[in-house]
DNA sequence: CGTTGTAATATGTATGCACATATTCGGGCT
DNA sequence: AGCCCGAATATGTGCATACATATTACAACG
């Protein structure tokens, strides 16, 4: 009778939530009762419900019990694709062209994003990713050579800057932002679209403790959409 | 010496990954060894490493052991805000205006998204969300009255359509998409921007089993960005 | 020489138990 | 009435153990 896995318990709980047998806001039976009812150990129930609470479907508080969340969808997890994989997953050939590579003082937005004074020169790398020969994504990256020693000597025309950094720097955290921007002249030229076209943009920053490593702005060709299932 | 919680084990593992004591791709000690080394039970190590694997930092395979992922950041979880909460979290007053509410056959994109034939009329609800009096987000929603019985009688000028659906329908899954679009005339008028301006857009669909419930397109005023930490 | 079966191995999961911790409830005191 | 404190309660966590399962390595076999 060990047929009750935590997945089965979770599936049953999910069913009761979705069929509104346990309506939004309601308090559900406590772990011990559920364990008895479903014929398994309390730890198994705990595992099942804990995951549902992590997903935002349940609210659990000690002594107060477990309640069905009133706002069912609160979190979504996105796969942040490596561009090459993203392209290849579409059945297209990935291409990569290094456009710019120079030391320069960062622009104001990058300074803010990386919490750096404007007079420290950073390595700027601009590259274009192609999918099946067509422009796919423009990558505009600033790298802090202090946090990434050796990057000034690296050959980034073969290894992409992303791969080099993954292999050579210690990463401890960062941030990611999504937004929409109008194509400027440079973006329009490289992405083969009209200036002013609406482009999907991802900005990522990564840090090693308190030291900024890199900030990258990915601007996708028109029509790009990022999807996930709920 | 029972001070070793699973959080502590996880923190230690994270430290070793980030300091490259365990470099990308390397195989790490198995659970039993780690448990012995850190002075805790194998189940505690399992709990700690399982969560890291869920987050994409580790690859675990039976018999093959646990390896540090070579692509450190693969997933990001976003809080999908209820618009009212999103606005209020910015310290602004939320406003809501119902603009349109009518039965109509859906457009081609909505038909595709909901896998419906084009001749079934749906309830279309268009509303504008305000933040501190300024346009914030345009909500363009199609509701399948078959999957949401009673919605045709609901007063959606007080209760938002989202709240009504959360309370009255059984949800089983869905999808979400992010993208960028150029403002059309209607969007420009309501969001107080120029036609053609780059707008951030979220499209969400929800289902009850095989039946589509609703598709909603949220178009945000220029400048909106969605952020999360890694 | 490839193929297939089998044993070894690392992770995955269930269980019973004990204790920790947060939160609520209610009683008793002022 | 209001406040404080202890008891009750539900979840959170750790441990030892046992067994399940996927995967690899390797040896036997045709």
Stretch (H or E) spanning B77: strand B75-79
Return the beta strands (E) in A5-162 as ranges: 27-28, 58-61, 65-68, 75-79, 94-104, 122-131, 134-143
Is residue A230 within 8 angstroms of chain B, CB to CB?
yes
Q: Is A15 left (phi over 0), alpha (psi -120 to 50) or beta?
A: alpha
Is residue A192 within 8 angstroms of chain B, CB to CB?
no
From the CB of residue B88, how many other CB atoms can be counted at a distance below 10 Å?
14
> What φ, ψ does residue B78 adopt, rounded to 5°?
-110, 140
Asked whether strand C has any atom less than 7 Å from the CB of A38, the reply is no
Q: Which residue positions in chain A have pLDDT lower than 50?
A: 1-2
**A218 and A202 Cβ atoms separated by less than 8 Å:** yes
B198 contacts A171? CB cut-off 8 A:
no
Q: Which of B19, B76, B179 sits opposite A78 (nearest CB)?
A: B76
Return the beta strands (E) in B81-191 as ranges: 94-104, 122-131, 134-143, 173-182
> Could you tell me the domains of chain B?
6-68 (1.10.10.10), 83-220 (3.40.1410.10)
Nucleotides of chain C in contact with protein CB (under 7 A) are: 8-17, 21-24
- Nearest one of B8, B88, B87 to B44, comparing CA atoms: B8
Give the pLDDT of residue A72: 72
Q: Which of B79, B172, B222 sits opposite A74 (nearest CB)?
A: B79
pLDDT in tens, B154-169: 998 888 898 899 888 8
Spatial separation of the C-alpha atoms in residues A13 and A21, rounded to whole Å: 10
- Nearest one of B88, B82, B123 to B104, comparing CA atoms: B123
Tokens of B201: 């857009």
Tokens of A117: 């004074």
- Nearest one of B214, B163, B223 to B193, comparing CA atoms: B223
Is residue A228 within 8 angstroms of chain B, CB to CB?
yes
Is residue B20 within 8 angstroms of chain A, CB to CB?
yes
Spatial separation of the C-alpha atoms in residues A104 and B4, rounded to whole Å: 47
Give the pLDDT of residue B3: 64
Is residue B21 within 8 angstroms of chain A, CB to CB?
no
- DSSP code at position B128: E
User: Can you tell me whether residue B171 is helix, strand or coil?
Assistant: coil
HSE of B80 in the Cβ direction (CA atoms, 13 Å)? 21
Give the pLDDT of residue B58: 96
Please calculate the CA angle B201-A59-B164 and round it to the nearest 5 degrees: 50
User: Can you tell me whether residue A83 is helix, strand or coil?
Assistant: helix
Spatial separation of the C-alpha atoms in residues A165 and A214, rounded to whole Å: 9
Give the pLDDT of residue B85: 87
Tokens of A227: 């999807």
pLDDT in tens, B129-161: 999 999 999 999 999 999 999 999 999 888 889
Strand partners of residue A100: A126
Strand partners of residue B180: B200
A206 contacts B166? CB cut-off 8 A:
no
Give the pLDDT of residue A187: 97
B181 contacts A181? CB cut-off 8 A:
no
Distances (CA, A) of B85 to A219, B161, B206: 29, 15, 21
Q: Please state the ipTM of this predicted complex.
A: 0.87
Give the pLDDT of residue A1: 44
> For the stretch B70-80, what's the b/e string if a residue is b when 16 or more beta carbons lie within 10 angstroms of its beta carbon?
eebbbebbbeb
Spatial separation of the C-alpha atoms in residues B191 and A116, rounded to whole Å: 35
User: Can you tell me whether residue B110 is helix, strand or coil?
Assistant: helix
pLDDT in tens, B22-61: 999 999 999 999 999 999 999 999 999 999 999 999 999 9
State how far residue B86 is from chain A, nearest Cα, in angstroms. Answer: 12
Asked whether strand C has any atom less than 7 Å from the CB of A62, the reply is yes
Tokens of A113: 């994003």
Question: With 70 as the cut, is the pLDDT of residue B1 above it?
Answer: no
> For the stretch B4-20, what's the b/e string if a residue is b when 16 or more beta carbons lie within 10 angstroms of its beta carbon?
bebeebbeebbeebbee
Tokens of A133: 């020969």
Kindly give, in sequence order, each residue whose CB lies less than 8 Å from that of residue B166, ignoring residues fewer than 6 positions away: A24, A70, A71, A72
Residues 147-186 of B with CB under 8 A from A: 166-167, 170-182
Instruction: Residue count of chain A, please give it.
Output: 230
The torsion of the CA quartet A41, A45, A47, A48, rounded to 10 degrees, works out to 140
Q: In the block, which residue shows the tokens 């990569």?
A: A96
């Amino acid at each position: 009778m060990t047929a009750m896995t935590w997945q089965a318990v979770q599936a049953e709980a999910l069913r009761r939530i979705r069929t509104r047998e346990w309506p939004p806001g309601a308090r559900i039976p406590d772990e011990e009762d559920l364990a008895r009812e479903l014929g398994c150990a309390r730890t198994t129930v705990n595992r099942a419900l804990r995951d549902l609470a992590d997903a935002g479907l349940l609210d659990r508080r000690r002594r107060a019990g477990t309640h069905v969340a009133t706002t069912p969808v609160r979190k979504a997890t996105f796969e942040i694709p490596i561009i090459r994989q993203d392209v290849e997953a579409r059945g297209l050939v990935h291409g990569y062209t290094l456009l710019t590579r120079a030391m320069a003082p960062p622009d104001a937005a990058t300074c803010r994003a990386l919490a750096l004074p404007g007079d420290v020169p950073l390595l700027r790398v601009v590259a274009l990713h192609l999918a099946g020969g067509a422009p796919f994504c423009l990558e505009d990256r600033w790298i802090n050579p202090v946090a990434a020693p050796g990057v000034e000597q690296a050959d980034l025309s073969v290894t992409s800057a992303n791969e080099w950094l993954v292999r050579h720097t210690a990463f401890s955290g960062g941030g990611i932002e999504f937004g929409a921007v109008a194509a400027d002249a440079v973006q329009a030229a490289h992405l083969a679209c009209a200036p002013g076209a609406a482009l999907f943009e991802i900005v990522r920053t990564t840090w090693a403790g308190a030291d900024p490593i890199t900030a990258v702005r990915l601007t996708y060709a028109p029509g790009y959409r990022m999807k996930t299932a709920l």
